[in-house]
Structure 1
Amino acid sequence: MNSFLKHVADRLLDGSLTMREQMVILPSRRSITYLKHILAKSIDRPIFLPRIVTMDQLASEISGMERLDPVSVGLELYATYSDLYKDAEEFEVFDSWSGAILKDFNTVDTYLIEAADLYTDLRHLKEINEWSFLEEELGADQQKYNNFWKRLGPLYIRFNERTELTGKTYSGAIMRKASDQMRTKRAFPNMKRILFAGFNALSNVEISILDRFHEEGRLEICWDDSRFFTSQSINPAGHFMRQWKQKEWIQSFSEDDDSTCEIEIASHPHAISQCMWAGSLLSDGEGEGDIAIVLADETLLGPLLDQFPSNIDHVNITIGLSFTHSQVYLFLKDYFLLHIRAEKAKNTGQIWQVHHEDLTRWAETSSRFHLIADHIVKSIDKKTKEGRQVFYNEEHLRELLGSEKVSRYGLFNVKMNNLINFSVQLLRDVRSSDRITVGIAERLIEIVTDTSEVISNYPFVSSVESLWKCLKGAMSKERVSFIGEPLQGVQVMGLLETRALHFDKIILLGANEGNLPKGPSYETFLPFDIRRYYNLPTQREEDAIYAYYFYRLISRAQKVFIGFTSERDEFGGGEKSRYLSQLLNGLPQDAGFNAVVNETVYSARNTKVPHVDVVVNSNEDVRRKILNYYKRGVSFSRLSEYTRCPLDFFYKTVLRLGEEVGVEEEMGSGDLGNVVHDVLEESFKPLIGKGKVSIHSIDKMKDRCPELLDRILLSRGLDKMTENGESALVKAVAIRMLSNFFEREKIRVSENEIEILSLEADWQMEMDVPIDNGMETVQFKAKIDRVERCNGKTVLIDYKTGAVKKSSLKFKSMDSLDLFSPDKSKSLQLLYYQWFNFRKNQSSSSAGIISMIGMGVEVDFLELNSEKEIRADELLEFETQLFEKLEEIYTRERFEHDKDKGFYCSHCLEPAQKTY
């Protein structure tokens, strides 16, 4: 274990210098802990340890500057930018690309590049690429684009001047400042040996620091490498080591271990399978001894913890769970998103109001953390779905949540500074039996409080969105830390933490392309051409770094278990790391790596679910429910459902399963039909039983139509929807439909004597129907939009807001197959109405449809053999078929889906053949 750090410890204890005369720089705090442990075990008397620091600590001590926290550095950058340029973008806009600017500033400093030259070349390159082909002068937007590239160089200079005055800056500037100071001042004069150990890739500024120590005769370097890293020039793992061997530094290299490494590469169908596999390895005894679980994909930590077996007594986890994956963080995020959307609505001239999705999401989590009662969540859901409530203002919230809750949690239009206090109160009230959840809530309170103190110095953080950006930036770096013994038991860590450390057993999870190595980062404004010209790192160097991490990690292990996910996703995921392919093809072995590699494929259980025809067999209970339906009332709509699909009819009518009610934020076709029907009912209602309809009365209806439409929209809770968006178009369609209808109606009343007898009439009647060798009382129901007397004859009218084909209202005979065909549903509806009128009122009638689109002046009538009035004997024949259909429903042995006709079934399930 840790043969490399043992080599470093031996060098420190060689007796040539005292510990106080030596200083060690290691790549991570984790390696510092291990080196101190090895030193303590290597001596038998109390001594002072040497100074042991990381490279960042070294640079900070030399430069005398501190590192700014992520929130402050972003705020300082924008403050500098807005001071330089009075037409600066809003902070919210700038913040979206400030990360790329800072990353490039770090690159410029760590590679000792003259910023003015680089950003001038970058501007020229952009101008050539974007505008060189244009002959005319640049427009305003094009000039603004050019100005952005012009501003980066001056921004870099002014930002460094500003931060140097405060003594706090970003890491790259600290490194560069340390390098500059070492040219004129001897750093750590009491140290006679400066030992760098465990590094691989070095930036120019780090090389300059090492060169300075070398010039002073104090530098020694210990490289943690292997012979097969550098034996082949094409091996990316040795890309940097081959360069350092050419330097004149005093340096030593690790000795190769000739023992054989046993490597098992396991393909898994999904991430959870990898974690289960790791748990089984620990259970089977692989958890004993010197072992580390390394996560190339750190999101696997959560599921991995669930798989730890009980036989593992000691576990040390150094990664930490990200706060951004916790329920408390998401709860706070929902709270701020609620306010952000409400603030944006207010800024557009609307009142402060909360969108139903934001409110529901926040309320559900609040209920989980016992801030509000469960019944409040149900009330919100009910009001949203049944009342079509899309937005909630302060008054609505006080009605639903209670004034005390609204005032306590700031669910109204509050100032940004007060919102900080409300969010703290929100977190204080979180209740949970999970100690981690409570701990995260307490830490988030500290972050919110600290961040509020920081942003108080920056007046441009003036909106809820900008406040949330600052809080999110601070919280994104936080981790849930675990308590453990860093030198005992199973060590769980990320790939970067393994630098300079060696373990006898390694379990490496998440070894897919994109994790190992990481994919290309696009958070930079420096294109490849600029990077190559200035010798800045490109993707090739990034890949070489990860190649070194991987091969160094496994080079001295005795057993290595590597898992990757084989499941493909829409982005091409599921490809194993290129380093695994190299191992499987023997490339490292050819270069001197002594390893035996085996591959195992773990597949998901290949369960074939064949095509399933859902069939419901009838029984006494089903027949009893059918009779109950007959007593409730048989309607045309239910009969129509049966003709399309018996199984859908069974679900909706027999079992009375309703469809899930969603929240429609725009008016749909159903709303259009309902609104038009309501307008026509209210318009014609004063004329019921008043004699002949006149042209003058139709003109009055048309004039008051817009006002009546608005009133009906208000009564249905649709008034706000129709102010803009798709609903405004639907409203316009309704106005046009009604206007055209009244114009055509004027022609009808001028050519015919029309009297209104009833509107939206609900007809009911009971009849004894022969069913299964007996008689059952069946109630029939019908709702007819309009009953009129036209030239002395009764006409039953149904309004349709959709198009109607005249061919669908014609049929040749009372043949059952033709009558009950789904494509004849409109004919069946009108025939049902005529039969109903015949039986109820003992009178003849005709029935037709008034379609709001694609219609002429006349009503489209139902026709049987080209006759509009259907004879009594024909209606009695329909009655016989109707009764037979009711008996068929009652006596059928099974209900199954009709594949040919049931295209719109809301409950029928037909699982396709699929592999799970």
Structure 2
Amino acid sequence: MTTFIFDVLKDLQNKHVNLSQLTFVLPSKRAGLFLKHQLKKVTNQTIFAPEIISIEEFVEALSQLKTVSNTELLFEFYNSYTELTKKENLDSFESFSKWAQILLQDFNEIDRYLIPQDKIFNYLSAIQDLKHWSLEKEKTEFVKNYLSFWNKLYDYYNHFTKALLNKNIGYQGLIYRQAVQNLKTYIDDNPKKQHVFLGFNALNTAEETIIQQLLENKLAQTYWDIDAVFINNPKHDAALFTRQHKTNWKHFKNNTFNWITTNYSKEKNISVFGIPKNIGQAKYIGSLLKSIEKQNKSLQNTAVVLGDENLLIPVLNSIPKNIEALNITMGFPLKSIPLSSLFEALFYIHKNTSVSFYYKDVINILSHQFIRPLFFIDHVDYASQIIETIDANNIVYLTTARLKQIANKSNDIIDLLFSNWNTSIDLALNNCSQLILSIKNYLDNDKDSNLLSLEYLFRFYALFNELIKLNTEYNHIKDVSTLYSIYKELLSSESLDFQGEPLQGLQIMGMLESRVLDFETVIISSVNEGVLPSGKSNNSFIPFDVKIENNLPTYKEKDAVYTYHFYRLLQRAKNIYILYNTEADILTGGEKSRFITQLELEGIHPINHQIISPQIPVITPTLNVIEKTPDLQLKLKELAKKGFSPSSLTNYIRNPIDFYYQKILKIKEHNDVEETVAANTLGTVVHNTLEDFYKPLIGTFLSVEGIKKLKKDIDKIVTHHFTDVYKEGDITKGKNLIIYEIAKRYVSNFLDLEIKELKAGNQIKILAIELENNVQVDIPELDFPVTLTGKVDRVDEYNGITRIIDYKTGRVELNKVEVVNWEDITTDYTKYSKSFQILTYAYMMQLSKDVKLPIEAGIISFKNLSAGFLKFAKKDKAGNYAKKDILITKETLENFSSELKQLILEICNINIPFTEKEIK
């Protein structure tokens, strides 16, 4: 396969042109590198290399102006804006930057296409005056300001461009306009300098003027790369611009138009694959490359062209490991670098002025991969210390002072992260720079392992230095929010360039990087409407009809540019793989590109069109089974000796695997910060409050007066226990205040219930509060001791009957403490867990001889307090409510203990594994 560049060089050689004396002008720098590489193929002797430059470099040299970044242009433009706008009508720099970006694009287009500025700006102003909505003779202040803005556009342009020219800098359009003005001088100064323009397609008016002037003065040659199939079809957009040049340029009336080729009609293998999602495309590109390499043994003449450049990282992760030679033309966006997430988090917490920081934001920053090591001082991990303190003390908002109090040896890094950002912008920027240097000092300890991270740091250090320079020079950034906007603007335009051998192996590039280059095998991704072509967009102050009237490009011309690049990739290629996303997407749609439909309708090449589905393995869900090894058996014996609690046994009934994790492996749930008081915290507060109230009353009969005295202390005791349990959590507002009031209401309602019982003539004597039980159970089948342990909330004597009471702050109904069949009590957690728990307490107290049978046991539910004491009951086999025994007798406990022992035997049986239950 011969390339376009090679054909151009061969043609020049055949014309006996001295290549060393030529200046080659190409659409991109990358194309120049390939041209230099091809030179050795057309010459068999040592020569001086010709001058090879991109069109931007050529025009910049012609204009004698230097290109500056878009961000610096914004700052410079704001200078002009402030000088020409009344102070009372002045937008902040942040607001200004949102509409100024669009206006700068319009300035750029107007200059590149050499439109008379006064004409178009006056025209725009007149249009706005005609269509404004105020019909009154006296215009409102708002309408006056609106029209004033449009009237000032020409003044803004003049002031801004003069300021730039005075500094010998400019944006692309201004550089092009200046280049055209300097063209005559350039031609006079270089009467014999020969230029070769090759591979161009869409040219703006300035470029057309420059090339045509050089052609008329016999100082240039042009080589176009267009196929006969496209140029001979007046409706084919791939040749839209080339047809215009061939028809309209005076030079081609008497000179040959080089070249119209016939490469596109040659035999090609074109495959189109519809693949769900972007990741699916990336993975399939990996599969294609593996297949191509297997067939051709080399990827030297293969290019992966990404229609959507966001696919770069997924594609890099999908490339087969055996591919060694790889060149990436596209830069890696700085916004995708891990370090960007750190500054995103920092700007997020400092954008709004606040004296305290939300704990999740603080933990997010402290846990960042670049920050965590900075808190490791003198072998102490202060980041962990802060995080653990936040969790342990339930801190939702932290001040800088509180952070320093927790980890005082890390004050310097805490200051950089959390202090002084809102004091001044200079200080905020200095904090960022110092933070980068602190990270660098740490990474320098092991440079070889941190080369990539150090490269990240360097790029961000350069970015913040640029911000410091701009703010020092212009002083337009007044707050952190504006600084963040400018930072984002700079970040979006910066990238980390990959380094590699540009002429070897597989090439990965964007669509624009493929200009002038030819490959035998081409893989093009994301060929969807809205991506290729990019579709309609109108970020401009210039209306569509005004653009047409002034020959400014619209979305049609932009689509034609994409069409040319797409078809040019196909011209000389033999194997073509086109991928598109089949799934609907909010922004890009799910529709395949019109380019694919056009290829199919042309009928020039057979198209192999397939829809590819990813291979999804069928994974049958299986329940977890843990066999009881000898080591596990030992742990079970230790647990049995230490004691099974009622809650751990009900946990086993619910799901044996949870019992294994919590009791055998000792895996505890992480205690997250409770922003809203959790149900278990509410329960603990209520339990502890009632314990404080009733413990002094053990051994005494309750009285109405005594309970009324307790009611006076509800506020104080509940607040005390909230402080003790909820730590530094705030209960003074929001949901937490409501839950705090609910806790007080629960206690108050319970005491009211006691008063009601006492007034009804019932006698209540407190026997025990929070009674600890620890008893041994005789199970002859086991050769090791088994203990039951647990704490009973309350034991009292009610009219001579001993009651065992368990408090529940949740809602419990009476049917949850009743049993029909004893064998169900250790199998059905949902129905019988409450019954199992209170019977276990009763059984333990009988074994420890703390009670005399018969007794009652039950639950007091604070959400169902009107039901009173919910007593355990044994119903007959038919579940008859009329025939139930509410007294717990020796027979009751014998029946229960039989089931309890069977449960413990199952837990300790080495032949019965811990088997996960399917929880519905």
The match for 1:501 is 517
The match for 1:406 is 412
CA pair 824-27 structure 1, distance change in 2 beyond 3 A: same
Q: Which amino acid aligns with 1:106?
A: N
Tell me, yes or no, if structure 1 residue 562 matches structure 2 residue 569.
no
Q: Secondary structure of the residue that 2:785 maps to in structure 1? A: strand
1:367 to 373, 384, 395: 373
Partners in 1 of 2:379 and 2:524 — Cα distance? 42
Partners in 1 of 2:731 and 2:111 — Cα distance? 56
Tell me, yes or no, if structure 1 residue 761 matches structure 2 residue 764.
no
The match for 1:242 is 243
Greater shift, 64-73 or 565-574, is seen at: 565-574
The match for 1:549 is 565
1:451 to 456, 467, 475: 467
Partners in 2 of 1:838 and 1:818 — Cα distance? 20
Note if contact 1:227-1:256 (Cα within 8 Å) is conserved in structure 2: yes
The match for 1:106 is 108
Matches within 5 A, 1:338-377: 338-344=345-351, 347-350=353-356, 355-362=361-368, 366-367=372-373, 375-376=381-382
Note if contact 2:177-2:206 (Cα within 8 Å) is conserved in structure 1: no
Note if contact 2:377-2:410 (Cα within 8 Å) is conserved in structure 1: no
Tell me, yes or no, if structure 1 residue 833 matches structure 2 residue 841.
yes
Gaps of 5+ in 2: 421-426, 875-882
The match for 2:457 is 441
| Normalised TM-score (structure 1) | 0.81
Greater shift, 562-571 or 409-418, is seen at: 562-571
Q: Secondary structure of the residue that 1:764 maps to in structure 2? A: strand
Partners in 2 of 1:408 and 1:708 — Cα distance? 37
Partners in 2 of 1:603 and 1:210 — Cα distance? 50
Q: Secondary structure of the residue that 1:73 maps to in structure 2? A: helix
Residue by residue over 1:230-260, the C-alpha shift from the partner in whole angstroms, topping out at 9 and shown as x without a partner, is: 3334433223333333313424242314583
Q: CA deviation at 1:634?
A: 1.9
CA pair 373-601 structure 1, distance change in 2 beyond 3 A: farther
Q: Secondary structure of the residue that 1:428 maps to in structure 2? A: helix
Tell me, yes or no, if structure 1 residue 418 matches structure 2 residue 430.
yes
Q: CA deviation at 1:453?
A: 1.7
1:809 to 812, 817, 820: 817
Note if contact 2:111-2:177 (Cα within 8 Å) is conserved in structure 1: no
Tell me, yes or no, if structure 1 residue 731 matches structure 2 residue 730.
no
CA pair 599-521 structure 1, distance change in 2 beyond 3 A: closer
Q: CA deviation at 1:792?
A: 4.4
Matches within 5 A, 1:23-102: 25-35=25-35, 53-78=53-78, 84=85, 86=88, 90-92=92-94, 95=97, 99-102=101-104
The match for 1:255 is 260
Matches within 5 A, 1:449-488: 449-484=465-500, 486=502
Q: Which amino acid aligns with 1:446?
A: A
Tell me, yes or no, if structure 1 residue 870 matches structure 2 residue 918.
no
Q: Which amino acid aligns with 2:571?
A: S
Partners in 2 of 1:231 and 1:731 — Cα distance? 82
CA pair 392-187 structure 1, distance change in 2 beyond 3 A: same
The match for 1:914 is none
Tell me, yes or no, if structure 1 residue 852 matches structure 2 residue 855.
no
Tell me, yes or no, if structure 1 residue 879 matches structure 2 residue 897.
yes
- RMSD, aligned α-carbons: 4.7
Q: CA deviation at 1:517?
A: 0.8
Note if contact 1:384-1:663 (Cα within 8 Å) is conserved in structure 2: yes
Partners in 2 of 1:116 and 1:791 — Cα distance? 100
Partners in 2 of 1:831 and 1:154 — Cα distance? 87
Partners in 1 of 2:102 and 2:469 — Cα distance? 26
Residue by residue over 1:255-274, the C-alpha shift from the partner in whole angstroms, topping out at 9 and shown as x without a partner, is: 31458343353747441441
Note if contact 1:292-1:506 (Cα within 8 Å) is conserved in structure 2: yes
Alignment coverage as a number of residue pairs? 875
Q: CA deviation at 1:419?
A: 0.9
Gaps of 5+ in 1: 904-916
Note if contact 1:803-1:854 (Cα within 8 Å) is conserved in structure 2: yes
Partners in 2 of 1:344 and 1:826 — Cα distance? 51
Note if contact 1:123-1:149 (Cα within 8 Å) is conserved in structure 2: yes
The match for 1:628 is 638
Q: Which amino acid aligns with 1:362?
A: H
CA pair 406-835 structure 1, distance change in 2 beyond 3 A: same
Note if contact 1:681-1:760 (Cα within 8 Å) is conserved in structure 2: yes
Tell me, yes or no, if structure 1 residue 524 matches structure 2 residue 529.
no
Q: Which amino acid aligns with 1:403?
A: K
Q: Which amino acid aligns with 1:872?
A: K
Q: Which amino acid aligns with 2:159?
A: E
Note if contact 2:700-2:765 (Cα within 8 Å) is conserved in structure 1: yes
CA pair 173-561 structure 1, distance change in 2 beyond 3 A: closer
Partners in 2 of 1:670 and 1:749 — Cα distance? 30
CA pair 351-576 structure 1, distance change in 2 beyond 3 A: closer
Partners in 2 of 1:210 and 1:735 — Cα distance? 87
Tell me, yes or no, if structure 1 residue 896 matches structure 2 residue 898.
no
Partners in 1 of 2:721 and 2:591 — Cα distance? 59
Q: CA deviation at 1:161?
A: 1.6
CA pair 48-780 structure 1, distance change in 2 beyond 3 A: closer
Q: Which amino acid aligns with 2:786?
A: V
CA pair 863-566 structure 1, distance change in 2 beyond 3 A: same
CA pair 262-87 structure 1, distance change in 2 beyond 3 A: same
Q: Which amino acid aligns with 1:847?
A: A
CA pair 356-182 structure 1, distance change in 2 beyond 3 A: closer
CA pair 565-389 structure 1, distance change in 2 beyond 3 A: farther
Matches within 5 A, 1:674-685: 674-685=684-695
Tell me, yes or no, if structure 1 residue 822 matches structure 2 residue 830.
yes
The match for 1:910 is none
Note if contact 1:506-1:560 (Cα within 8 Å) is conserved in structure 2: yes
Q: Which amino acid aligns with 1:324?
A: K
CA pair 746-279 structure 1, distance change in 2 beyond 3 A: same
CA pair 387-324 structure 1, distance change in 2 beyond 3 A: same
Q: CA deviation at 1:854?
A: 4.1
CA pair 627-91 structure 1, distance change in 2 beyond 3 A: farther
CA pair 544-674 structure 1, distance change in 2 beyond 3 A: farther
CA pair 89-665 structure 1, distance change in 2 beyond 3 A: farther
The match for 1:911 is none
Note if contact 1:397-1:411 (Cα within 8 Å) is conserved in structure 2: no
Partners in 2 of 1:19 and 1:373 — Cα distance? 67
Q: Secondary structure of the residue that 1:825 maps to in structure 2? A: helix
Q: Which amino acid aligns with 1:800?
A: K
